[in-house]
Amino acid sequence: MSRAVARLLLPPVLRDVTRFTRPQFGEPNTEMFWSNVPPLRIFTWAKSASHTLLNPFTTERNMTTANKPQFQRNILSSVKTEKVTDLLQHNLTNLIDLALLLKQAHWNVFGSNFRSVHVHLDEIIATVRDASDEVAERIATLGMAADGRSRTVADATELGTYPDGFVDVASTVTHVADAMKSAIDGLRNAIDKLGDLDPISEDMLIGISAPLEKHLWMVQAQEE
C-alpha cells in the first residue's frame, strides 16, 4: 500500500499533523512528517481510528467520560461518592424507563374514562422527568458522570416490560401502577441506605418519592 493511499484512510483530524506536533525548527511541515512515516504505520493508525480516535503520537485515547470523580474539591470521600452515585444511578435508570413507559401508556390507552387517564399520565410523566433530571444532576454534582443512554436503561432497569399496541384503561392502570411501585421501591431502598452516606441525596430522593407515591395512590384508586 502506498503512503498516499494509506493517508486517505485516516480521519481528517489525523491527516493534519500540525494538530499534534510541536515544531522544533520553525513551523511544522506536514508533508515532511508523512514522508518519513512507513505506509504500514499509517495504515495501523487508520485502522485504530476507525474504532476510537487515537492520538498516533502518544497512543492515548481522547476519552469523554471517566469512572472517577472529576473535581479537585470532592464533596464526599471517594468511597462514599462511589456508593452514593451507584444508588443514584440505579434510580436514574428506573426513572428514565418509567417516563418512557408512561408515555407509551399515554399514547395507547383506550376505553371508558380514557381522557382522565390520558391526561393524568402526562402529569405523572412531567413529575418523573423532573425527578430524573434532579438525580442526574446530583450525580454530576458529586463528580461522577450520569448515564442515561438507552442501552444502559434497557440493561439495568427494574421495571417490567409494557405491552405493545393499544391497551384498555383497566389494564393500563394496572401496568402503570406496577411500574410506579417498582420505581418507588427502588427509591425507598436507596433512601434507607443513604442516611449514613449522604443526607443531602437522601433528602432529595425523599422529595422525589413523595409526589410519586401520591400519583400512585391516584392511579391505583381507579382499579376495580
Q: Is the pLDDT of residue 65 over 50?
A: no
Q: Is the pLDDT of residue 44 over 80?
A: no
> Which domains does the chain possess?
3-49 (no CATH), 78-220 (1.20.1260.10)
User: Looking at residue 51, what is its pLDDT?
Assistant: 47
Dump strand ranges (E) for the chain.
109-110, 167-168
Mean pLDDT of 188-203: 96
User: Looking at residue 106, what is its pLDDT?
Assistant: 97
Mean pLDDT of 42-47: 56
User: Looking at residue 48, what is its pLDDT?
Assistant: 56
- pTM for this predicted structure: 0.70
Give me the residues paired with residue 61 across strands: 54
Sign (positive/negative) of CA torsion 96, 97, 99, 103?
A: positive
- DSSP string of 92-109, one letter each residue: HHHHHHHHHHHHHHHHHE
Q: Is the pLDDT of residue 137 over 80?
A: yes
To the nearest whole percent, how much of the chain has pLDDT over 90?
Answer: 63
pLDDT digits (tens, 9 = 90+) for 142-191: 999 999 999 999 999 999 999 999 999 999 999 999 999 999 999 999 99
Report how far residue 139's alpha carbon sits from residue 92's, in angstroms, rounded to the nearest whole number: 9
For residue 92, which of 174, 172, 199, 204 has the smallest C-alpha distance? 204
Contact 39, 7 (CB under 8 A): no
Task: Give 223's pLDDT tier (boundaries 50, 70, 90).
Answer: confident
Q: Is the pLDDT of residue 135 over 50?
A: yes
All cell numbers assigned to 48 = 485504530
Residue corresponding to grid cell 422529595: 207
User: Looking at residue 2, what is its pLDDT?
Assistant: 59
Q: What is the DSSP pairing of strand 167-168 with strand 109-110?
A: parallel
- Coil/strand/helix, residue 143: coil
Buried b (16+ CB within 10 A) or exposed e, 25-49: eeebeeeeebeeeeeeebbebbeeb
Mean pLDDT of 196-212: 97
Q: What is the Cα 177 distance to its own chain's centre?
A: 25
Q: Is the pLDDT of residue 192 over 80?
A: yes
For residue 7, which of 56, 51, 60 has the smallest C-alpha distance? 56
Mean pLDDT of 53-62: 42
For residue 49, which of 79, 10, 99, 94 has the smallest C-alpha distance? 10
